[in-house]
Structure 1
């Protein structure tokens, strides 16, 4: 009988036995939490104690203060440099505007000076030549424009004071070559009506024939069929 009971306990068919702790599970979780909290507190204390021994806290704090001071200094320097840059840019723009204004004034003065020289030359040509009488050509100017046109200007005066009005004609005689052959042309063909009391400036633009090369321009003032004044200009 005992042998049978012993065999039943030792085999698979033996009855299951459950072992239960006498401590309830809420108390076990509480004890485990207390143990973990204590371990964490000990770890934090050990870490802080190690940092204090190594002097890491003071070094990091000092370096942080230095970095903040450096950042503040760099920010202030950047603001000052930006202000200086803006000031320099404003001065540069003002200087550029002043320079452009001076250049415009210089160009205007040059144009005025050129106009005054032209006017002076024009009025000098109006001064009568001693001993001269009647109608005279005091100035003849001509230039070829693009090989297709001729721009001209003639100044005619009466040297004598209180001279009667002159009524006549003005002719321009162009000489040169056309297609390599000698060429002459009178413009306008019948002459241009001319009336002069004291002085008269006449100008115009003539169209040239194709392949014509103007070498000389002659201005003639005629009274009827009589040539009263003439002047010739050679073109380069």
Structure 2
């Protein structure tokens, strides 16, 4: 660089010339990277030194051991809690199953109790029958739904005391069913089923219908053996 010219008397003089040396950029970059690497190495050494000193420090070792024991304790508590939750879930399932079983048993006992009351009433009525009672009567007739499409039909036939001989007859059921709003009557069984009554007898039959068929009404018909004229009839309207 040429400095400013100065006039000194009759002479010209120049300022002192300053010369600076420029280094290439890649050298500067290399120096910078080297410095950073040195600083990083020093940091790593300091970290390992601090870790080593921490291991030698009794207080640090005790702190690490205490933290390890606390973690083990918490893990054990977590395992115990999980076991307790599993046991409580199993106990709850068992109690629910027991409650459901007891509920079904209670319903069955109530149904059996109703049947026993019905039988007691029947026997009481049987004891009060006189010689003027009819030769044959349908004392009880009912229809029970056991499961979808599965029904039990039961009847008690009573013979009057004035009758000396057993009554020999035949029975049939007329089932009124409904499917898709359309009703149909089915005669069952075919041919009619024979039976004998001496004082009294209990008739019980079960029938199965398709699940999509609803039983609406059942008519019990009693015939004398070999006759086509109906002796007795009883109708039962199925609810539901």
Q: TM-score, normalised by structure 2?
A: 0.55
Whole-Å Cα distance in 2 between the matches of residues 180 and 96 of structure 1? 47
CA contact under 8 A between 1:143 and 1:150: conserved in structure 2?
yes
Alignment correspondent of 1:18: none
Alignment correspondent of 1:219: 220
Moved more, 111-120 or 129-138: 129-138
Alignment correspondent of 2:115: 122
**Which one has the largest radius of gyration?**
1
Alignment correspondent of 1:80: 73
What is the Cα deviation at residue 119 of structure 1? 1.0
What is the Cα deviation at residue 154 of structure 1? 1.8
What is the Cα deviation at residue 80 of structure 1? 1.1
> Does structure 1 residue 93 correspond to structure 2 residue 90?
no
Residues 170-210 of structure 1, C-alpha deviation per residue, up to 9 Å, x if partnerless? Answer: 211134678988743321233222345544241222557xx
Calculate the aligned-residue CA RMSD, in Å: 4.2
Whole-Å Cα distance in 1 between the matches of residues 178 and 102 of structure 2? 42
SS of aligned partner of 1:140? strand
What is the Cα deviation at residue 85 of structure 1? 1.7
CA contact under 8 A between 2:219 and 2:233: conserved in structure 1?
no
Match of 1:109 among 102, 108, 128: 102
CA 1:100 to 1:195, structure 2 compared with 1: closer, same or farther past 3 Å?
farther
Identify unmatched segments of 5+ residues in structure 1. 1-55
CA 1:65 to 1:88, structure 2 compared with 1: closer, same or farther past 3 Å?
same
What is the Cα deviation at residue 116 of structure 1? 0.8
Residues 210-229 of structure 1, C-alpha deviation per residue, up to 9 Å, x if partnerless? Answer: x9875422122333434234
> Does structure 1 residue 228 correspond to structure 2 residue 229?
no
CA contact under 8 A between 2:138 and 2:156: conserved in structure 1?
yes
SS of aligned partner of 1:84? helix
How many residue pairs get aligned? The number is 176
Alignment correspondent of 2:9: none
Alignment correspondent of 1:155: 155
Q: TM-score, normalised by structure 1?
A: 0.56
Whole-Å Cα distance in 1 between the matches of residues 214 and 86 of structure 2? 52
CA contact under 8 A between 1:137 and 1:230: conserved in structure 2?
no
Greater RCO (CA < 8 Å, at least 6 residues apart): 1
